[in-house]
Amino acid sequence: MIKMNVAVNQSEIEVASVRGKSALITCKNIQPLKILHPVSHHNCCHLVLTSYGGGMVSADVVNINVKCGADTKTFIGSQSNTRIYKKVLNAITGQNIKGEVAENALTVVFPDPVVLQAESRFKQSQHWEVRRGGLLFLADWFQAGRTDSGEKYLFDMYLSEISIAIDGQLQVLDRFNFDPKENIADSPANFGQYQSMLSIYFAGTPDNPKFKKIEEKLLEIKLATQPVLNYDVSAQSCIISTTRAREGAYILRAMGKSRIDLQWLCDNIMDMLSDPELLEYNPMKRKF
């Protein structure tokens, strides 16, 4: 078992409904994390996770506790790609998020990809608790390396664990462990020709009208991207799979030959989430 030192202190984010608007009432930054809070003119708290060096160096560990209160809308993104730099003395870089989504709250977490540079070692965990009526839309995205420079699957280790519970009942437990030295990354059984991997987790209470709105969009994407007879995977710039893991949980997987090949999907999803009943606007448009 790989052990990772965990800092005693942790960064804190708390969002509450104040006079009918989602407001950041607690914000505690512990290096190397820096939390930015752009002003939003809508009922949505916009947060950006960034760092002082544009990434995480060897042995950096980020611990974040997120609380999204009742009736809030929260968007959490990142400033840019999170670069994981090469290891020093075999140390592991890590990020751990513990989150709560309260009653009738909507939380969208959609960062840019984690870019695993050569000889890096990265371990992450995310554990979310969603209360009845709450909705969580969580994106987890990683890149094979600095692919524009020809660096592909040269990292040493990538471990990930994501769990989502609804009212105390575990709905999603997704564990992933990949070591390019022990596995052939470009094998068809692994990633093949694809270098950008995006997973989206959507969880909540099915009888919530907002849940149904997002569910319909995910099913629409599924129908639009279903393979046809004589489907040639090698000819596709991206492939997408959407599955209902539980009654109140969906998982979408997408792999692209590059990040650009998945951008249309991200744009499509963010346009959907900008619905007046959801986030009310598209936070990504302020970024690009």
Q: Are 159 and 128 in contact (CB under 8 A)?
A: no
Mark 261-272 as b/e (b = at least 16 C-beta within 10 Å).
bbeebbeebbeb
Is 5 inside any structural domain? no
- The number of folded domains in the chain is 1
Domain that holds residue 203: 11-286
Q: Which two tokens stand for residue 250?
A: 């969906």
Is 153 inside any structural domain? yes
pLDDT at 280 over 70: yes
Other residues' Cβ atoms within 10 Å of the Cβ of residue 131: 19
Q: Write the pLDDT tens digit of every residue in 237-270.
A: 888 999 999 889 999 999 999 999 999 999 999 9
Is 40 inside any structural domain? yes
For CA atoms 251, 196, 267, 163, the dihedral sign is positive
Is 15 inside any structural domain? yes
pLDDT at 232 over 80: no
Is 2 inside any structural domain? no
pLDDT value of position 196: 95
Q: Write the pLDDT tens digit of every residue in 54-79.
A: 789 998 999 999 999 999 999 999 98
Is 4 inside any structural domain? no
Q: Write the pLDDT tens digit of every residue in 22-42.
A: 999 999 999 899 999 998 889
Is 39 inside any structural domain? yes
Q: Are 205 and 105 in contact (CB under 8 A)?
A: no
Is 3 inside any structural domain? no
pLDDT value of position 100: 98
Q: Mean pLDDT for the chain?
A: 90
Q: Are 242 and 268 in contact (CB under 8 A)?
A: no
